[in-house]
Amino acid sequence: MAPDLWQGWRKLIQGYRLEIESFDLTVKLSHGDVPEDRSGVVAGLLERGVLADVSMAHLVGGYDGNSGSLPSLFRALKHGVGTSS
């Protein structure tokens, strides 16, 4: 970046500190696919073997369409369940 451009932009940068008191988590594990597709999605994610994919496979495989099933699935991930193939 050109030094003169940086000097102009630098004067406009402001820092903020925010304290987060709460947040809502939105999860979309199904795009309206038929339930029979779930096993193929899980198999595809596990085949790639990337840690995030393995965790997502655990969530997709265990999600029953009810938001009540999510807390236990996330707790299991926190304790390492579903993070290894």
Which pLDDT score is estimated for 16? 92
Q: pTM here?
A: 0.56
- pLDDT digit string (tens) for 58-81? 888 888 877 788 888 888 888 886
- List, for residues 8-33, the tens digit of each pLDDT value: 988 898 999 999 898 776 667 766 66
pLDDT band at 85 (very low <50, low <70, confident <90, very high): very low
| Identity of the amino acid at 77 | L
Angstrom distance (rounded) from CA 70 to CA 27? 9
Contacting residues for 46 by C-beta, under 8 A, at least 6 apart: 53, 54, 57, 85
Q: What angle do CA 81, 62, 67 make, to 5 degrees?
A: 115
Q: What is the pLDDT of residues 30-52, one digit of tens each?
A: 666 677 788 888 899 899 878 78
